[in-house]
Amino acid sequence: MPLQYTNSTGKDSQIVSGYRHLAKYYLNVNTDSSLYFANQIISFALLKNNWHYLENGLQVKQLAEEAKFNIYGSQNTFLLDELTDQKRRINLLIIISTTLFVCALIVFILYLRKGRDTKISEADNKEYKERMINIESALNDIQLKNSNLNTELKELQINYGNLQKRHDDLVKTNDIKDKLIPMIAHDIRSPLATLQNTLSLTRDNIISPEEFQKLSFALEADVFNLRGMLDNMLLWAREQMFEIKINKIKFDLSETFKEVILTYRNNLVTKNITLHNYMPEHLEVTSDKEIIAAVFRNLFSNAVKFTEPGKNIYISQIFFNGKAYISVKDEGKGIQQETLQKLNNKQHISTRGTANEKGTGLGLLFSKEMLIKLDEAFDITSYPNQGTSATFSVNMQ
């Protein structure tokens, strides 16, 4: 059932109001708790089928995410100050170590000159030997201190490297924040607004059931596209913040692909695309089923998205060294070399399909990173106006 602006009961409003107050209270206390209560509002809205509650939940969730990202910004400033302090300490240790060594060398040279220019009597010989012993002892102490300083210098350099890595990670996180927030604000809210407007027009009898029937195909495509974008964003954001656990099991790869293809049947019919699926039946592989399904969904979705109406999509495989190499080839407009270079550099890319389909640009980036974690191969070959072929491997043993 689609979301509606239904009349809410007093009890429902109290529940939503309570969640909203708790979420706003935790904004400056614990952003994870704030996100939790925002998600409770969204879940309650979906349960109650209420669009007004859903909008409230999304607004509170966006405030919580911005607060969380602001915390990353303050941590980044702290790391920059600490990096500067580490540099000063390293430079100071280098100066002290060099100064001590030079002073000891000067003292030793001066003493040798004095001993060479002065006739040493037998009475003074004992004092000379004692002085030499003291000088040697002092030199040993200086060398020991210099060695300790060098050890401390190496430790500081290691710490500096770790701080630099943390700084780079925070810069990357801030970059993710700057890209995800506009993406959520536009690419996800826009199709939801379209769905809301269509439902409102239907409810008010402004459009007829026949017109709604025609629009429903486009709406269904938007919903599938929106679902794919949400899945990609959630999986990719989760992979950025947490270490995704790999769960390798045996499963039927052909059946998994069929389930994915089935969700795009209306898109294929609407664009009059012919699918040539050469996958053999009952192909058993050993890998993480969720990740492989997500990778194939991203590649197949892109093939449908960028293939011109009336063209073809091919799914094929070859077997080599205990692995199945799966290829998804389309007859679309191809990918520019500049865009492929951005993908290889793990940069965010986003383009629209031949029917103006939207996308976050995270699908290929997520697929590549997840296949690396599975120790699998991934390659894209594309030529402008000739199509794209994406190939990845899956372990069969």
Listed by start position, the domains of the chain span 1-207, 245-397
* 4 compared with 376, residue with greater pLDDT: 376
Q: How many Cα atoms within 13 Å fall on the side-chain side of residue 333?
A: 10
Report whether 254 contacts 280 (CB < 8 A): yes
Q: How many residues does this entry show for the chain?
A: 397
Q: What's the pLDDT band for 360 if we cut at 50, 70, 90?
A: very low
pLDDT higher than threshold 60 for residue 123: no
Residue 141: what pLDDT? 83
Q: DSSP 3-state assignment of 241?
A: helix
Q: Please determine, for residue 363, whether its predicted confidence score (pLDDT) is greater than 80.
A: no
Q: For residue 25, what are the CA distances in angstroms to 18, 56, 65, 290?
A: 11, 15, 14, 36
Instruction: For residue 2, name the pLDDT band (cuts at 50, 70, 90).
Output: very low
What is the architecture, at CATH level 2, of domain 245-397? 2-Layer Sandwich (3.30)
276, 361, 384 from 339: Cα distances, Å: 27, 11, 11
Identity of the residue numbered 163: L
Query: Position of tokens 């924040």?
Result: 177
SS3 394: strand
Instruction: Provide the CB-side half-sphere exposure for 140 (13 A, CA).
Output: 6
At 385, the pLDDT band (50, 70, 90 cuts) reads confident
R_g (Cα) of the chain, nearest Å: 33
Instruction: Kindly give the residue spans of alpha helices, DSSP state H, lying in the chain.
Output: 10-25, 31-48, 51-117, 122-183, 189-203, 209-241, 253-262, 265-270, 289-306, 337-344, 362-373
Model confidence at 249: pLDDT above 90: yes
**Which residues, 6+ apart, have CB-to-CB distance to 4 below 8 Å?**
49, 50, 51, 199, 203
Query: Tell me, what amino acid is at 117?
Result: D
- For 5-32, the pLDDT digits (tens) are 344 456 778 887 888 888 777 777 777 7
Q: Given a cut of 80, is residue 255 above it in pLDDT?
A: yes
User: Taking all residues of the chain, what is their mean pLDDT, rounded to a whole number?
Assistant: 77
Cα distance between residue 177 and residue 170, in whole Å: 10
Lowest mean pLDDT among 31-35, 78-82, 137-141: 78-82
CA 301 to chain centroid:
20
Q: Considering only residues 55 and 380, tell me which one the structure prediction assigns the higher pLDDT.
A: 380
Q: Find out whether 380 and 335 touch, Cβ atoms under 8 Å.
A: yes
Which pLDDT score, from 0 to 100, does residue 242 have? Answer: 57
What percent of the chain lies above the pLDDT cut of 70?
A: 73
Q: Which of 53, 239, 240, 87 is nearest to 156 (CA)?
A: 87
Closest-CA residue to 185 (of 362, 65, 86): 65
What's the pLDDT at 275? 95
**pLDDT single digits (tens) 257-276:** 999 898 888 888 888 999 99
- pLDDT interval class at 355 (50, 70, 90): very low
CB 353 within 8 A of CB 325: no
Q: How far apart are the first and last CA of the chain?
A: 44
